[in-house]
Structure 1
Amino acid sequence: MLMSKIETLVDEGFRVSLIETAFFDGKFEIPHIDAPKDIVVPSGLVPFSRRQRSRDKQDFVCFYEHDVKFREILTHTEDYVEELKQYPGVISPDCSLYIDAPLCVQIASIYLNRAVGYYLSKQGIYVIPNIRWGDERTYTDELLGEKVAFQGVDKHSIVSIGTYGQIRTAESKRYFREGLIAMLDELEPKVVLVYGAMPDTIFHGLETITEFVQYPDWTTRMKQKNIMYKSSVEHI
């Protein structure tokens, strides 16, 4: 009885049932998301909480928003499989990796990202891994002996990153650029999707390394849509 309760508690927090058939990478055993056979570049990205506003469901569903808005996909992943199959694909969850959080918490967020992404891919959903790093312990191998932020992802494929809300201070910009350079060096992706701004202070000099495809954050996208609509009305 006690073991049953423990297994239930663990599964509620870390969704062990999602990765029963997964392969694991590194000493922390991060679930591995296999690269898709073909690279598909999304026509647009829609946040999970706004997915119903995707016109004809042509956007990939992403999770570049506050964690509370996509908590259900982490705790009840199975309940959303059939709905997510209506979209062309999904970006794996962008669980927050706060640079001032304990290392164990940062690693747990990387694990959940891959666990949910792995499960959805095994259900036949096209999944693009989201790459998120925290402080330098996650994107260098100086302390851990491995770059945990990049584990569970194949090289030479397509990945996604989000700058929205992540590069507000000089310190966060420094961490972001350092982690981005480390990711490009480690994974050598053919395509990198970028949700949010691409300031020169971060991306300068990196454009020749891979193909970056930028997407506006949802707020900016809606503002642009309203401006275009207003302009078309004024010309009627």
Structure 2
Amino acid sequence: MAKNKENLVDEGFRVSLVETAFFDGKFEIPHIDAPDKIIIPNGMVPFSVRERSQDKKDFVCFYEHDINFRDILTKTEEYVDELKQYPGIITPDCSLYIDAPLCVQIADIYLNRAVGHYLQKQGLYVIPNIRWGDERTFKEEFLGEKVVFQGVDKHSIVSVGTYGQIQSAESKRFFREGLSEMIKELEPEVVLVYGSMPDTIFADFKKTTKFIPYPDWTTRMKSK
């Protein structure tokens, strides 16, 4: 017997956002359609300081501590009209800690795509942010599929963030391995990079992939 939607309890996974979604893979990750036209952002502004974007010409991104953009996950619908004032958004950068349980990592991938799908359906220009966790999320031999790349079309535009993510030798290794798998799996036409681009990670990939760098917000403000 179908339940009355008004009586459903929101358990935190925002199922109301994906009522019209197509789901990819065995974990049923909501799909975000590739845009008809690739638009390169003039700049990126983190969600928590979006009002500081001059003339609202920046894409809104979520490369900051998760607590600063919690509301976009829990109250997505309330921000649609405001976000439409900007040229587009990068989907939420939910933290995928490599020491977190796999179910938590997959849940964060789901929320990234769920919010992106919903905002796209509301008419916003959406660029998927790709964040991977440990090897189980980006290597096929563990789960039978690369779950972190589900819900994203090939041969289009994606975004990644290095800000605060490549501080240790281990984090650099995981980032480089995940980046390599992403490029092989999605074959992106353009990859936006929020934060630094050290040659130890990016040099080899620059030969075949177009990267566009964006300074993190703190660095950008200091350079003015």
Give the TM-score normalised by structure 1: 0.92
Distance (Å, rounded) in 2 between the aligned partners of 1:195 and 1:44: 10
- 1:31-42 to 2 correspondence within 5 Å? 31-42=30-41
Corresponding residue for residue 73 of structure 2:
74
- The residue that corresponds to 1:233 in the other structure is none
Q: Alpha-carbon deviations, 1:3-25, whole Å to 9, x = none?
A: 77983132xx0000000010000
Mapping of residues 118-137 of structure 1, within 5 Å: 118-137=117-136
**Is 1:215–2:214 an aligned residue pair?**
yes
Aligned to 1:7: 8
Which position in structure 2 is the counterpart of 1:232?
none
TM-aligned CA deviation for residue 201 of structure 1: 1.2
Give 5+ residue unaligned stretches, structure 2.
none
Query: Structure 1 residue 208: deviation in Å?
Result: 1.5
Partner of 1:65: 64
How much has 1:211 moved relative to structure 2?
0.6
> Shift of residue 177 of structure 1?
0.1
Distance 2:96 2:218 in 1: 22
Deviations 1:111-141 (A, max 9, x none): 0000000000000000000000000000001
Question: Partner residue of 2:153?
Answer: 154
User: Any idea what SS the aligned residue of 2:155 has?
Assistant: coil
Over residues 23-59 of structure 1, what are the superposed CA-to-partner deviations in whole Å (9 max), with x where a residue is unaligned? 0000000000000000000000000001000000000
1:89-100 matches, within 5 Å, as: 89-100=88-99
> Which residue of structure 2 lines up, in the alignment, with residue 231 of structure 1?
none
Supply the distance in 1 between the matched residues of 2:167 and 2:62 (Cα, whole angstroms). Answer: 19
Code of the residue aligned with 1:7 in structure 2: it is L
Task: Supply the distance in 2 between the matched residues of 1:7 and 1:100 (Cα, whole angstroms).
Answer: 32
Counterparts of 1:50-199 in structure 2 under 5 Å? 50-199=49-198
2:206 equivalent to 1:201: no
User: Percent identity over the alignment?
Assistant: 75
Mind listing any 5+ residue stretches in structure 1 that lack a counterpart?
A: 226-236
SS, match of residue 213 in structure 2: strand
> Structure 2 counterpart of 1:18, which letter?
L
Q: SS where residue 143 of structure 2 aligns?
A: coil
Counterparts of 2:72 and 2:161, CA distance in 1: 18
Structure 2 Cα separation of the partners of residues 201 and 213 of structure 1: 17
Measured in 1, the distance between the counterparts of 2:205 and 2:174 equals 15
Q: RMSD over aligned Cα, in angstroms?
A: 1.1
User: Which residue number in structure 2 is paired with residue 48 of structure 1?
Assistant: 47
Q: Partner letter of residue 189 of structure 1?
A: P
Moved over 2 A (4+): 3-7
Q: Higher Cα Rg: structure 1 or 2?
A: 1
Look up the match of 2:23: 24
Aligned partner of residue 61 in structure 1, secondary structure: strand
Distance 2:120 2:210 in 1: 24
Distance in 2 between residues matched to 1:143 and 1:182, nearest whole Å: 14
Q: Displacement, 1:143?
A: 1.1
Deviation digits for residues 50-82 of structure 1, max 9, x if unmatched?
Answer: 100000000000000000000000000000000
